[in-house]
């Protein structure tokens, strides 16, 4: 009976159902701070189960290559996960996303070469898995390049970019049609004699890689959280499409769960910037908008600098302080000093909270990860909508390397490109300290009227040095 | 008919996904993303089936590379998510 269950794959399929259930519970638990770590463990058990029962499958005749891949990939993944610095987390997430996509692409391609009879459904699935996998892979590599600063982080735009992107999409669709139906337009139009689906697959791969590059290069630094969340969704959809290729439900369930969660995150990020996904993908924010806003050249008053000793005196007297971190905190690695300052303020009888904008940093939740690394308790981290109503009662806001997410123009200046974006309204606090290297504008290249407000004081210099300076003032 | 069943599962799982992860505190955005990313490494199952099959050597070769990349994705994704979540503490 048991042997029979093994032979007709009943056992394997039942295990796949159990693995799907574990993924569902795991993801559910991952969305609450108290259960998240257990949730990740539950989901990893699901993965282990799915892999182990797959290895028992009777379709497998040789284990040699599987083991090489499993051990090699697992070892590289483990080393990367253990050695990576928390500040490099966005790059690693991007890279892992890309590998997931590439793997789905390869599974689809491998299946094409294993097909013995032509099968329309399988061809559609292979085509779609290849396209999504390819876009995920090259798009993630570009995101990785930008995040790790191998490539310039600025949006890269050229004339005819949208037309080229549109053309590539059109070509991909035509090719997909030919790939599935066997009717090749190029043959009709130009007389090419390329009926071979394997050639079409190679073209499909090349074009989808190109599309991924074209979609990722116009994305600027400030928009990175959106594209990272979107690529995350794609990696799930690619796995889902691969599930159709091999007719396996566990891939479809797991892949679409990831696809859905990535889309939810993408949507949260877009809402936090008050922009549509299309606008983020094709807008090339920053490269185009900087010229229009700087052209106005409005003088907004004088900037009032402050030194560390004077800032200390104000902080020392404050009874409530709100710290607003941004990408600048990650760049100068100031999170540990910030935590120290927060603790000293608390010891001084001051109430300290951290306000974190959803798109601060380079990936969703970037600031939360850095502050958690520095040992800041997550219950003092608050979201903009919770802190804005009580902003008037706050004595001092310390803005550390954040710019666009605290820009009052989002509420006040209808001509501003970020008008309507929900921001942290720090200018309503009694005093605002802005820690900033220089007067350069933010990643979106937009002027920030916060710097010119009556209650704003600029503490120029490297964020880490400034915060450490404040820390030593408190200690002395 | 099998195709229809797969599509059925697809549609239901997408809806389940949206319901499941509807409210996520922003503290967990990164771990949720990297944890979900590890799950997307489920394509490893397909990769193993290709890599160990008795098909042409090109299928085995492509499958093996896919096993490598997917295991990297799975192991790296779960470990790094766990490492992050260990730091998320309430004090």
Element spanning A155, H or E: none
Catalytic-role residue among A289, A404, A413, A462: A404
Can you tell me the distance from the alpha carbon of A79 to that of A124, in angstroms, rounded to the nearest whole number? 37
Q: Please tell me which residue of chain B has the smallest CA distance to A103.
A: B66
Q: Quick check: A77 and A99 in contact, CB under 8 A?
A: no
Calculate the CA A446 to chain-centre distance: 22
* pTM greater than 0.90 (yes/no): no
Can you tell me the distance from the alpha carbon of A89 to that of A370, in angstroms, rounded to the nearest whole number? 9
Hey, what are A394's tokens?
Answer: 């706050």
Mutation target for A interface from B2, B11, B17: give the one with most A CBs within 10 A. B17
Q: Quick check: B8 and A203 in contact, CB under 8 A?
A: no
Can you tell me the distance from the alpha carbon of A320 to that of A349, in angstroms, rounded to the nearest whole number? 9
Count of other CB atoms within 10 angstroms of residue A296: 10
Q: Do A248 and B46 touch (CB under 8 A)?
A: yes
Q: Quick check: A90 and A366 in contact, CB under 8 A?
A: yes
The pLDDT score that the predictor gives to residue A198 is: 79
Q: Which residue has the higher pLDDT, A392 or B3?
A: A392
Q: Where are the domains of chain B?
A: 29-91
B 29-58 residues with CB below 8 A of A?
Answer: 29-56, 58
Chain B residues with CB under 8 Å of A121 CB are 3
Can you tell me the distance from the alpha carbon of A447 to that of A362, in angstroms, rounded to the nearest whole number? 20
Taking the CA of residue B58 and the nearest CA in chain A, the distance in Å comes to: 7
Q: How far is CA A174 from CA A119, A202, A221, in A?
A: 19, 14, 33
Chain A residues with CB under 8 Å of B84 CB are 86, 89, 369, 372
Can you tell me the distance from the alpha carbon of A379 to that of A382, in angstroms, rounded to the nearest whole number? 8
A231 CB within 8 Å of a chain B CB: no
Show pLDDT as tens, one digit a residue, over chain A (476 residues): 566 666 668 889 999 999 999 999 999 999 888 899 999 999 999 999 999 999 998 888 899 999 999 999 999 999 999 999 888 888 999 999 999 999 999 999 999 988 877 778 888 999 999 999 999 999 999 999 998 888 887 778 788 888 898 999 999 998 888 887 766 555 555 555 555 777 888 989 999 999 999 999 988 877 888 999 999 999 999 999 999 999 999 999 999 999 999 999 999 999 888 888 888 777 655 444 443 444 344 446 778 889 898 999 999 999 999 999 998 898 889 999 999 999 999 999 999 999 999 888 888 889 999 999 899 988 899 999 999 999 999 999 999 988 889 999 888 888 888 888 899 999 999 999 999 887 765 555 667 888 888 899 999 989 899 999 999 988 88
The dihedral through the CA atoms of A316, A317, A319, A323 has a sign that is negative
Taking the CA of residue A99 and the nearest CA in chain B, the distance in Å comes to: 5
Hey, what are A284's tokens?
Answer: 């090339």
The pLDDT tens digits for B32-80 are 999 999 999 999 999 999 999 888 899 999 999 999 999 999 999 999 9
Phi, psi (degrees; rounded to nearest 5) at A456 = -100, 135
Can you tell me the distance from the alpha carbon of A348 to that of A331, in angstroms, rounded to the nearest whole number? 28
Q: Give the closest residue to B36 by CA, choosing from A24, A219, A410.
A: A24
Count of other CB atoms within 10 angstroms of residue A174: 14
In the three-class reduction of DSSP (H, G, I as helix; E, B as strand; rest coil), residue A353 is classed as strand
Is residue A223 part of the annotated active site? The answer reads no
**All domains of chain A in start order, with CATH:** 13-77+86-267 (no CATH), 308-475 (3.40.50.1220)
Chain B residues with CB under 8 Å of A70 CB are 48, 67, 71
Can you tell me the distance from the alpha carbon of A269 to that of A231, in angstroms, rounded to the nearest whole number? 13
Sheet containing A456-460: order of strands: A381-382, A351-355, A320-325, A396-400, A431-436, A456-460
Burial of A262 (0-12, 13-18, 19+ CB in 10 A): buried
**Which residues contact residue A462 at a Cβ distance below 8 angstroms, ignoring those fewer than 6 apart?**
A332, A437
A191 CB within 8 Å of a chain B CB: no
Q: Do A47 and B20 touch (CB under 8 A)?
A: no
Q: Do B45 and A81 touch (CB under 8 A)?
A: no
Can you tell me the distance from the alpha carbon of A370 to that of A322, in angstroms, rounded to the nearest whole number? 17
Taking the CA of residue A244 and the nearest CA in chain B, the distance in Å comes to: 7
Q: Do B28 and A232 touch (CB under 8 A)?
A: no
Q: Which residue has the tokens 């009874």?
A: A319
A21 CB within 8 Å of a chain B CB: no
Q: Do B37 and A50 touch (CB under 8 A)?
A: no
């Amino acid at each position: 009976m048991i042997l029979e269950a093994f032979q007709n794959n009943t056992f394997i399929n039942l295990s796949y159902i159990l693995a799907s259930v574990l993924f569902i519970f795991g993801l559910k638990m991952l969305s609450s701070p108290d259960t998240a770590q257990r949730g990740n463990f539950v989901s990893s058990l699901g993965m282990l189960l799915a892999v182990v029962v797959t290895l028992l499958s009777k379709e497998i005749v040789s284990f040699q290559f599987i083991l090489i891949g499993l051990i090699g990939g697992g070892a590289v993944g483990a080393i990367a996960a253990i050695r990576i610095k928390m500040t490099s987390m966005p790059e690693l997430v991007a890279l892992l996303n890309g590998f997931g996509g590439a793997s789905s692409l390869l599974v689809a391609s491998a299946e094409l070469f294993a097909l013995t009879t032509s099968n329309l459904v399988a061809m559609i699935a292979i085509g779609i898995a290849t396209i999504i996998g390819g876009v995920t892979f090259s798009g993630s590599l570009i995101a990785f390049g930008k995040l790790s600063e191998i490539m310039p982080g600025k949006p890269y735009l050229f004339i005819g970019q949208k037309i080229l992107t549109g053309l590539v999409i059109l070509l991909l669709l035509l090719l997909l049609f030919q790939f599935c139906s066997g009717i090749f337009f190029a043959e009709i139009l130009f007389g090419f004699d390329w009926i071979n689906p394997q050639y079409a697959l190679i073209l499909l791969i090349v074009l989808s890689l190109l599309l991924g590059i074209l979609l990722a290069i116009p994305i600027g630094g400030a928009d990175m959280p959106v594209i990272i969340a979107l690529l995350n969704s794609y990696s799930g959809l690619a796995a889902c499409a691969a599930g159709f290729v091999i007719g396996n439900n566990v891939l479809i369930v797991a892949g679409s769960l990831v696809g859905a969660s990535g889309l939810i995150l993408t949507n949260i990020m877009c809402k936090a910037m008050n922009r549509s996904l299309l606008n983020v993908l094709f807008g090339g924010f920053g490269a185009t908008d900087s010229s229009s806003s700087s052209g106005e050249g409005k003088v907004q008053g004088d900037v009032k600098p402050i030194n560390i000793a004077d800032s200390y005196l104000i902080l020392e007297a404050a009874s409530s302080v709100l710290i607003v971190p941004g990408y600048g905190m990650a760049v100068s690695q100031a999170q540990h000093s910030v935590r120290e300052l927060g603790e000293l303020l608390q010891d001084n009888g001051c109430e300290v909270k951290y306000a974190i904008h959803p798109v601060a940093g380079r990936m969703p939740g970037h600031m939360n990860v850095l502050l958690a690394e520095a040992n800041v308790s997550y219950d003092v981290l608050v979201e903009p909508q919770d802190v804005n109503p009580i902003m008037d009662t706050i004595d001092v806001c310390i803005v550390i390397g954040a710019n666009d997410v605290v820009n009052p123009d989002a509420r006040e200046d209808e001509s501003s490109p970020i008008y309507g974006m929900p921001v942290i309204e720090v200018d309503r606090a009694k005093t605002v300290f802005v820690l900033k290297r220089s007067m350069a504008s933010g990643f979106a290249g937009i002027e920030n009227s916060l710097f010119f407000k009556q209650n704003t004081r600029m503490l120029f210099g490297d964020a880490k040095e400034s915060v450490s300076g404040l820390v030593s003032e408190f200690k002395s | 008919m099998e195709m229809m069943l797969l599509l059925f599962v697809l549609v239901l799982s997408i809806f389940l996904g949206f319901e499941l992860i509807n409210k996520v505190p922003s503290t967990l955005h990164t771990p949720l993303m990297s944890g979900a990313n590890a799950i997307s490494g489920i394509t490893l199952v397909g990769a193993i089936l290709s890599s160990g099959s008795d098909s042409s050597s090109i299928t085995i070769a492509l499958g093996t590379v896919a096993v490598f990349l997917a295991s990297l994705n799975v192991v790296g994704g779960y470990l790094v998510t766990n490492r992050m979540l260990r730091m998320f503490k309430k004090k």
